[in-house]
């Protein structure tokens, strides 16, 4: 029963990792951009949520009403203002510009909020739990996993059932022809980044309720998200959820054996997938 519990907890943790990864997966799918600042943007969203909670006294979950639109706006501005200028055949500019952004965000947060770890207070939601058979499940992890499933299902629906999704897929397949068909790819990319950062806002708030955070932890979140994307296979959103779950389970199993091995076990699982099945478990597009 102990091990079943470990696997269930790991699966639920995987929901959070899938939320870290969804935005990364989405922008890679649409514009082949890998955003090194993604993890720092997650932490940025968490701090934004903290500020909203502190000034308005709202519950952190309700703070999403402000943080999601704010992050979406920032995403659009970031894409149209800076990142669109870096896209092209050369790989270096987007990589180095987002790397620079990562350093700027990290140090701005350090300047504004200091290096002290912060946490959002979500009241009873943090400790509430219910039992399912012999298992004791926390409400927050279950809620996080549920949100991850809903977010991924919505993104999937948006991608394959709406006009915006068709535009995303069109620019993803061939930017030039999509442009000829009357799509403004700069605007479409802006919308994709807005959507990605809206998801990032959700991830940031849930992270901030679950654990304490400080300006330096963004890189680690980027790595978790990235591992989930690669394990699941590029361009497959449900695969990304599966990747997050595998990563989460590997980490909880590692932590069960020795607390010092939690993160390391996740990395080892990732490297194993890379060694055995480099294209990921459920790939849809080739990198």
Interface ranges with another protein (CB under 8 A): 33-34, 36, 82, 85-86, 90-97, 99-101, 103-104, 107-108, 110-111, 219-220, 222-223, 226-227, 230, 260-261, 263-264, 267-268, 270-271, 274-275, 278, 287
Assess contact for 248 and 12: CB atoms under 8 A: yes
- Of 35 and 144, the one with the shorter C-beta distance to another protein is 35
Residue 135 three-state SS: strand
Close Cβ partners of 62 (under 8 Å, ≥ 6 residues apart):
none
Least distance between another protein and beta carbon 262 (Å): 9
- Of 37 and 63, the one with the shorter C-beta distance to another protein is 37
- Tell me which residue of 248, 209, 244 sits closest to 225, measured CA to CA: 244
- Of 138 and 219, the one with the shorter C-beta distance to another protein is 219
CA dist 257 and 267 (Å) reads: 15
- Of 99 and 160, the one with the shorter C-beta distance to another protein is 99
- DSSP of 85-129: GG-SS-SHHHHHHHHHHHHHHHHHHHHHH-SS-B----GGGGT-E
Enumerate long-range contacts of 169-174, CB under 8 Å, 24 or more apart. 171/30, 171/31, 172/29, 172/30, 172/31
* Token duo for residue 149: 């499933």
Close Cβ partners of 217 (under 8 Å, ≥ 6 residues apart):
39, 43
- Of 61 and 265, the one with the shorter C-beta distance to another protein is 265
CA dist 97 and 117 (Å) reads: 27
Least distance between another protein and beta carbon 270 (Å): 6
- DSSP of 118-133: B----GGGGT-EEEET
Least distance between another protein and beta carbon 274 (Å): 6
Paired with 131 in beta bridges are 136
Least distance between another protein and beta carbon 95 (Å): 5
- Of 114 and 184, the one with the shorter C-beta distance to another protein is 114
Residue 137 three-state SS: strand
CA dist 261 and 256 (Å) reads: 9
Least distance between another protein and beta carbon 114 (Å): 10
Least distance between another protein and beta carbon 47 (Å): 15
- Of 204 and 225, the one with the shorter C-beta distance to another protein is 225
- Of 60 and 235, the one with the shorter C-beta distance to another protein is 235
Least distance between another protein and beta carbon 86 (Å): 7
Least distance between another protein and beta carbon 203 (Å): 17
């Amino acid at each position: 029963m102990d091990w079943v519990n470990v696997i269930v907890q790991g699966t639920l943790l995987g929901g959070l990792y899938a939320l870290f990864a969804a935005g990364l997966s989405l922008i890679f799918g649409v514009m082949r951009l890998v955003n090194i600042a993604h993890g720092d943007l997650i932490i940025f969203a968490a701090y934004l949520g903290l500020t909203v909670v502190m000034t308005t006294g709202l519950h952190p979950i309700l703070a999403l009403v402000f943080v999601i639109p704010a992050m979406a706006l920032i995403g659009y501005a970031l894409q149209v203002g800076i990142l669109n200028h870096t896209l092209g055949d050369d790989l270096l500019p987007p990589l180095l510009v987002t790397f620079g952004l990562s350093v700027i965000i990290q140090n701005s947060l350090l300047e504004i909020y200091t290096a002290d770890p912060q946490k959002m207070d979500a009241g009873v939601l943090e400790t509430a739990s219910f039992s399912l058979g012999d298992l004791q499940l926390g409400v927050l992890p279950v809620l996080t996993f549920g949100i991850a499933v809903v977010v991924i299902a919505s993104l999937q629906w948006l991608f394959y059932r709406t006009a915006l999704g068709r535009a995303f897929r069109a620019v993803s397949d061939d930017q030039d022809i999509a442009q000829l068909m009357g799509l403004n790819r700069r605007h479409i990319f802006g919308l994709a980044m807005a959507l990605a950062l809206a998801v990032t806002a959700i991830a940031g708030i849930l992270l901030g309720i679950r654990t304490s955070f400080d300006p330096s932890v963004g890189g680690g979140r980027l790595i978790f998200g990235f591992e989930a994307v690669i394990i699941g296979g590029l361009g497959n959103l449900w695969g990304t959820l599966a990747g997050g779950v595998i990563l989460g389970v590997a980490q909880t199993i590692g932590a069960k054996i020795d607390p010092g091995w939690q993160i390391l076990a996740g990395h080892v699982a990732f490297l194993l997938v890379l060694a055995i099945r480099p294209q990921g478990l459920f790939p849809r597009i080739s990198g």
